[in-house]
Amino acid sequence: MADEFDVEFIRGDDREARILVRGLTPAFANGLRRAMIADVPTLSIDTLRVVENSSVMFDEMIGLRLGLVPLTTPDDFEYGDTVTLSLDVEGPDTAYSGDLESSDPDVKPADEDIPIIQLNENPSGENQRIELEAEAVLDDGKSHAKQSGGVAVGYRHLRKVSVVGDRGEFDEEETNILRGVIETEDGELVPTDEFDHDLTERYPGKELEVEDVPGAFVFHVETDGSMTVEELVLRGIDSIESRADELQEKVAV
């Protein structure tokens, strides 16, 4: 195992990023990926108290939709802690996630424009209406996918591309598809979408050699908005650390 990690942000924003980590073993890289998906807890609506629901959907369907709305999750919550949110919309109108009123200013829908339910006017003349109180609970992705902060978190090896010669004069110029991030001979890191994932586009007429860089992994981390990418990675690492500590304690006794 290498004695030092080296971390580099290749590209990204708060919601989606590519991060290069050197000095990892495949097992540890996968452990981190799984921690980000299943072990970092987030707040999600889990229980409803429905006061009125005259919409076209059953209470349970509304409950599922509300549960899937990502809520911003500060790091001072414990497993099982709850936050109350309320929704009160009368048609003709659409209830959006942004209409949810939270009792905690730090916990609010990460996206405000998710349609929950469209409310119309009934043929009899009265308006459809929805009024409810919802309880959001802190739990992790092992209990329900809605509690998972990471979306499509994965990694690939960093690949080194080197030119070994010219392609034969009469060889066919064919596509050479590679996805991820490559390291050029000058040590430059290039995401493959910059040349349409086609090595022939970047190195026309060249004979290439592509090989994995040992211990270098490019993570693609995307969050649902409940926290930033950086926070998700840090909390994933914290979760591994705290479990390792707990194991150490138990073994030592």
Partner 1 sequence: MMIPVRCFSCGKVIGEHWEEFEERARDGEEDPAAVLDDLGVDRHCCRRMMVSHRDLVDVVSPYQ
Q: What is the C-alpha to C-alpha distance for residues 231 and 218, in angstroms, rounded to an integer?
A: 17
The answer to whether 50 contacts partner 1 (rule: CB under 8 A) is: no
Tell me if 109 sits within 8 A of 116, measured CB to CB.
Answer: no
- DSSP symbols for 51-102: EEE-SSS-HHHHHHHHHHS-B---TT--TT-EEEEEEEEESSEEEEGGGPEE
Is residue 129 involved in binding partner 1 (CB under 8 A)?
no
Q: Which C-beta is closer to partner 1: that of 120 or that of 248? A: 120
Q: Are strands 16-22 and 206-222 parallel, antiparallel or unpaired?
A: antiparallel
Among 69, 134, 218, 233, binds partner 1 (CB under 8 A): 69
| Per-residue binding letters, 170-209, with partner 1 (x by CB under 8 A) | ----------------------------------------
Please report whether residue 216 would count as binding partner 1 according to CB under 8 A: no
Give, as one character, the DSSP assignment of residue 196: T
Q: Three-state SS for 245?
A: helix
String of contacts with partner 1 for each residue 76-105, x by CB under 8 A: ---------------------x--------
Site for partner 1, rule CB under 8 A:
54, 56-57, 61, 65, 68-70, 97, 110-118, 120, 122-123, 128, 145, 148, 151-152, 222, 224-225
